[in-house]
Amino acid sequence: MDISHILNDLNDKQREAVSAELTNLQILAGAGSGKTRVLVYRITWLIEVEKVSPFNLLAVTFTNKAAHEMHQRIEKMVGLIANNMWIGTFHSLAHRLLRAHFKEANLSQNFQVIDADDQYRLIKRIMRDAGLDEAKWSPKQAQWYINSQKDEGLRPKDSAENVYDEFTEVMLKIFQRYEEICQQSGLVDFSELLLRAFELWRDHPEICLHYRKRFKYILVDEFQDTNSLQYEWLKLLAGQESKIMIVGDDDQSIYSWRGARIDNMHSFIKDFPDTKIIKLEQNYRSTGTILKAANTLISHNNARLGKNLWTASQEGDPIAVYAAFNDIDEARFIADQIKQWQEQGNRLSECAILYRSNAQSRVLEDAFIQAGIPYRIYGGLRFFERAEIKDTLAYLRLISQITDDAAFERIINTPTRGIGLRTVDFLREQAKQTQQSLWATAKQVTHLQLLPARALSALSNFLNLIENLANAIQCLPLPEQVEHVIHQSGLYHHYQNEKGEKGRARLENLEELVTAAKQFEPEETIANSKLTAFLTHAALESGETQADSYSDCAQLMTLHSAKGLEFPLVFLAGMEEGLFPHQMCLEEANGLEEERRLCYVGMTRAMKKLYLCYAESRFLHGKEKSQRSSRFISELPPSCLAEIRMRTQISQPLSLKSKSATLVPIENEKYQIGQYVKHAKFGSGIIINREGSGAKARLQINFEQVGSKWLMTEYADLETL
């Protein structure tokens, strides 16, 4: 048999991993070492060489994007038989199991998946109902508590033993009530998907055995991101017989704040004693310099599994460090560099600006607009998270499962139809007493005429509306169901009345939803109706942030969302103590190490050229703040860095207190603070403005570029104000 097409384009280590004997495998795959390739080729190897049926394969990822990509690449290698294997995220696989075994999992057939926002609303409502002081107990906290309990595999009854303080007591109470409501309404949140799926196997060994026999080979991507529950789930599935291959990089674990446990990588070796460990250390992405710097940085972390990336590619340019005067100057500098990059004939989409927190994007955007650089920001509201979309989906949810109280509450008065808070409160109270869904309660209340006439008529109009919608769409194909609901619910009309750009965008989104329904093809009929499948799809796969723009754009995103991507030109902006590493992380145990890993992730995104930027002072929370440059910069080998030291060079010769100086170029024109000014005769400089002692000065600064550095050659005090 010819196996060259599988092995030829792999290096020794990759080949070793791909063609390893049928045992448990732990692949430590450094950044840019061909991790996905190894996974895909291993699957191909199993199918073509080891003659494993795709039916016996399970591949697990964390994001839908990764799952899709893997599926496509496998299909390219082995053809359509790839469709026989299960590939998906932990959540989508768990969901699939629960649909198949809803009875054993104690769920209703039409159970709905709710996203984090739905969950938040539900919790908030519960807390209000319970009359909890919102200043003292925040819904966010409660949400975090509930999810982290579930992520540890704990139910309220498990946590009940550990109540020692008021906080836990209150949280537990909310947790309990939350569970009751979800169970009653047939709602399943993200953590619940995993926990239920776990319990399904734990409590029904026969079902577990069935899947154990089926999935003889399990492959897990980004294993360093698994939480306790996901790992337990995998262990349960693997049992003694199945073989697991995990691929991960402990140095790129940046989600511990979300429950991910790097420890799972250590545990794996203990829990699966015959595990073979293979390290992929050859990096195909970055230059030698970037890699050397990244390696040095991450070596400051303790408790690593240990691995050192190397590359056969060239040294490349040094890493440029730019000390900006302030955030505006930083943004301007980045925009300038990007402009130059573009003028050299490169594409904008090849550069990424990475930052620690979303708030940083604003100044960058301003600078890009000014410089006329098109950009794209990742993050923000995703398609299925938009209010108008969620409203429509809530109608559909309620129709497909009438017990869905969360959906009921969302739309009972959206668009407004005269059902006020009082009516809703009354319904809630009644529902609580009778242990019924809001829908059933509302039916009863209208029947028994328990409300004032006006409220009663509004309520029964609403009930009729839902019933009519349900009848009308029963036999329609999915896209028409969606369209019908959008119009007949009054939502379309409602958003039509919203003025301005916003309203138009919303209508467009609603139309887009119909299109999405048209294009929606459920992978398999796991759900009992296409509508249910579509609703789940919407919850599990919240969609892209923006419709794909094909124009050439600079890419702005947080460091977290840059994971898994690569760019020829990368800027890390805001390399300041307190911002990166973030203040809040410094207060947590092991917080600093995770920040360092985040920096490592950021640096290793860069292929050719990397810039590290920090601002001497920055506007934050409405105040100007000065921070030292990030310790991460000082942890890098100086030989890898080239500083662009404008600020230091200026401040030294200035006899004025730098905090009270205003720099402007020669002509007395209007310039913005932070603006970079070039003057034919006097060179170039940056305008800063600091309030301090009260004294202000107007200065002219001349610069000269010497090698890769900017040096101040002379300055003149033009005028003292």
Partner DNA sequence: GACGCTCTCATTTTT
Partner DNA sequence: TGAGAGCGTC
Question: Which among 281-289, 390-398, 414-422, 605-613 is the span making contact with DNA, rule CB under 7 A?
Answer: 414-422
Question: Interior CA angle at 53 toward 49 and 55, to 5°?
Answer: 150
Matching residue, tokens 């610069």: 703
Minimum CB separation from DNA for residue 559, in Å? 7
Minimum CB separation from DNA for residue 116, in Å? 4
Residue 418 engages DNA in binding (rule: CB under 7 A): yes
Task: Look up 252 and say whether it is catalytic.
Answer: yes
Residue 252 and residue 262: Cα distance in Å, rounded? 10
Our CB check for DNA shows the closer of 134 and 429 to be 134
**H helices present in 188-326, as ranges:** 190-203, 205-214, 228-238, 263-271, 288-298
Minimum CB separation from DNA for residue 488, in Å? 19
Task: Look up 329 and say whether it is catalytic.
Answer: no
**What part of residues 38-67 is at the interface with DNA (CB under 7 A)?**
62-65
Per rule CB under 7 A, count of chain residues that contact DNA: 41
Question: Which among 38-46, 578-586, 658-666, 686-694 is the span making contact with DNA, rule CB under 7 A?
Answer: 578-586
List the end-to-end C-alpha distance of the chain, in Å, as a whole number: 85
- Return the residue of 97, 319, 419, 431 that touches DNA, per CB under 7 A: 419
The answer to whether 47 and 265 have CB atoms below 8 angstroms apart is: no
Catalytic residue among 115, 221, 330, 595: 221
How far is C-alpha 185 from the chain's CA centre? 28
Residue 131 engages DNA in binding (rule: CB under 7 A): no
Catalytic residue among 61, 89, 112, 252: 252
Residue 71 engages DNA in binding (rule: CB under 7 A): no
Residue 568 engages DNA in binding (rule: CB under 7 A): no
Our CB check for DNA shows the closer of 285 and 563 to be 563
Task: Look up 128 and say whether it is catalytic.
Answer: no
Our CB check for DNA shows the closer of 131 and 622 to be 622
Three-state DSSP state, 349: helix
Residue 57 and residue 219: Cα distance in Å, rounded? 8
Minimum CB separation from DNA for residue 328, in Å? 12
Catalytic residue among 13, 35, 73, 261: 35
Residue 677's nearest CA partner among 647, 651, 713, 703 is 703
- Return the residue of 14, 26, 33, 542 that touches DNA, per CB under 7 A: 542
Beta strands per DSSP E along 517-563: 554-558
The answer to whether 107 and 193 have CB atoms below 8 angstroms apart is: no
Residue 283 engages DNA in binding (rule: CB under 7 A): no
Question: Interior CA angle at 635 toward 634 and 638, to 5°?
Answer: 65
**H helices present in 88-189, as ranges:** 90-100, 116-129, 139-151, 156-159, 166-185
- Return the residue of 308, 314, 370, 416 that touches DNA, per CB under 7 A: 416
Three-state DSSP state, 575: coil
Quick one: residue 652, left, alpha or beta (phi over 0 = left, psi -120 to 50 = alpha)? alpha
Our CB check for DNA shows the closer of 301 and 357 to be 357
60 — phi, psi (to 5°)?
-115, 135
Catalytic residue among 222, 232, 576, 593: 222
**Pairing outcome for strands 623-626 and 606-620:** antiparallel
One-letter amino acid identity for 695? A
Minimum CB separation from DNA for residue 89, in Å? 4
The answer to whether 206 and 213 have CB atoms below 8 angstroms apart is: no
**What part of residues 446-505 is at the interface with DNA (CB under 7 A)?**
none
Question: Which among 238-246, 301-309, 506-514, 615-623 is the span making contact with DNA, rule CB under 7 A?
Answer: 615-623
Task: Look up 498 and say whether it is catalytic.
Answer: no
Question: x/- binding map, residues 683-712, to DNA, per CB under 7 A?
Answer: ------------------------------
Task: Look up 221 and say whether it is catalytic.
Answer: yes
Our CB check for DNA shows the closer of 93 and 636 to be 93
**Pairing outcome for strands 709-720 and 697-706:** antiparallel
Number of H helices, E strands in the chain: 29, 21
Name beta bridge partners: 698. Answer: 662, 719
- Return the residue of 413, 444, 651, 684 that touches DNA, per CB under 7 A: 413
Task: Look up 488 and say whether it is catalytic.
Answer: no
Name beta bridge partners: 719. Answer: 698
Our CB check for DNA shows the closer of 479 and 591 to be 591
**What part of residues 80-99 is at the interface with DNA (CB under 7 A)?**
89, 91-92
Binding site for DNA (CB under 7 A): 62-65, 89, 91-92, 115-116, 124, 134-135, 190, 257-258, 356-359, 379, 413, 416-420, 540-542, 557-558, 560-561, 582, 584-585, 588, 591, 619, 621-622
- Active-site residue list: 35-36, 221-222, 252, 605
